[in-house]
Amino acid sequence: MSARSLTPGSARQNSLSFAVIVLAAGEGKRFRSSKPKVLHALCGAPLLGHVLSAIEPLAATKTVVVVGRAADEVKAVAKGLTRRKLSFAIQAEQLGTADAARIGDEALGSFDGAVLIVPGDIPLITTETLQALIDHHRASKAAATVLTAELDDPTGYGRVIRTGHGAVERIVEETDATPDERNTTEVNSSVWVFDRAALRSALTRIERVNAQKEFYLTDVVAVLREKGEQVEAHTTPGPTEILGVNSRVQLADVAALMRRRIAERHMLAGVTIIDPATTFIDSTVEIGPDSTLHPLTHLHGRTTIGAACEIGPNVKLVDTVVGDNATVINAVANEAKIGPSAQVGPFTYLRPGAVLAEGAKAGTYVEVKKSVIGKGSKVPHLSYIGDAEIGANVNIGAGTITCNYDGETGKKSKTVIGDDVLIGSDTMLVAPVRVGRGAVTGAGSVVSRDIPAGQVAVGAPARPVRKRRSKPTAKKKGEHRK
């Protein structure tokens, strides 16, 4: 590592700027996965995504992500997880956290200021806690400040050993700790703020004298204290924020905490969640006030729920938009749009491109794909609507199918149904076909030719269409038939 012409403390005295190094090169061997650990999903985002979201509002001067295994994949995903510009550094060989910090530090170039170091696998960390750590570091003018937490069960974490005056004396990894040291409940979060000059100087003196034969970042404490530098600790009031994810078991444990946090945020914003323990909401979901979520509701991706909606039970919505006052019960929707006051379910499947206009209905055992169901129109039950455009105030009888696939060329053809149409039960609409405004099909009809407005079609394709008969008007008193 090349030395710089900075002296420890210079950045502390003349700069409030800071940079971030995110350590995301860990292999995650305990996941037993072909996917890098930091890319495993948690409540709608990769582990790394939650960390970058917490960092983003801090407006760091520069953010470096240290990557290792599957570096190109991690880079590609990370760039889409934040609006901030990211730089990347590669740790080709896993030699420990101090080595990763060194590689990240070198990528900072001529930056002069404080350096925040954050692991990429602590998804519960919050912006508020990181800001409090930075503020503590600036106020104390320390060479280093570590974020700590008090855990009832500190198993697996490095223990923070303090002097009799409360200063940080050292941090010892569990594998290297004595029995007495293991009884300590204050643990290292692996989140640090360093004066950069102090960090660079200390990193050059760290050796692999431990059970794991790695360069430990925690060893900077002893190095800095030997030089007479001040090492501070800031204890977070929310100990779960520092929980790391090193296995799928820990991923499940942290996911439960994250779901509860997300549910509480929505409930405090005016959403009723009947049973948060059985409701699954991604961090990216938006829900309007006075909406109610029933048990076994799953809301994923960029799903947006309007105000005063009734969602669930047994609903899964992925990247779906739901308008105000809509009702969705026992249904699955993927990349669909459900309009205001629309009704969906029970047992409904809305596939990508399904659009229900205001007041429309897709009912029991109805599947809709790449189709628009117009304002006030209803597909109440037992129907498949694919590649169709349905106008306003249309009623689709039970068992109706839009036959959009010809079986030979693979081409999907479109069915167009005008306003005020009545489609009889068990009608087969063989696309491409158009049904004019106010037309009617009889039960069991197979429609393979266009139906003009106001006409009635019945039976097999060869049967002609005939003019729709208007409803008889009531006779006036004293009127006689001729």
Q: Which of 59, 61, 76 is nearest to 24 (CA)?
A: 76
Tokens at residue 14, please? 């003349």
**Phi and psi angles of residue 7, each rounded to the nearest 5 degrees, phi first:** -105, 145
**Phi and psi angles of residue 54, each rounded to the nearest 5 degrees, phi first:** -70, -35
**Phi and psi angles of residue 377, each rounded to the nearest 5 degrees, phi first:** -80, 155
**What are the C-alpha distances in Å from 276 to residues 175, 266, 295?**
38, 10, 8
**What are the C-alpha distances in Å from 446 to residues 11, 381, 434, 450?**
80, 19, 13, 11
Q: Which of 343, 309, 342 is nearest to 325 (CA)?
A: 309
HSE, side-chain direction, 13 A CA sphere, residue 378? 12
Show the beta-strand stretches assigned E in 253-377: 272-273, 279-281, 286-287, 292-293, 297-300, 304-305, 310-311, 315-318, 321-322, 327-328, 331-334, 337-338, 343-344, 348-350, 355-356, 361-369, 372-373
381 is catalytic: yes
Given a contact cutoff of 8 angstroms between Cβ atoms, the answer to whether 384 and 373 are in contact is: no
Q: Which of 140, 152, 103, 119 is nearest to 52 (CA)?
A: 119
Amino acid identity of 252? Answer: A
Q: Using CA atoms, how far apart are residues 258 and 180, in angstroms rounded to an integer?
A: 33
Cα first-last separation, the chain: 110
**Phi and psi angles of residue 99, each rounded to the nearest 5 degrees, phi first:** -65, -40
Tokens at residue 117, please? 């170091």
Show the beta-strand stretches assigned E in 92-221: 114-119, 144-150, 159-162, 168-172, 186-195
> Which is the catalytic residue, given 234, 294, 298, 381?
381
Long-range interactions of 360-366: CB distance < 8 A, separation 24+: none
| Catalytic residue annotation | 381
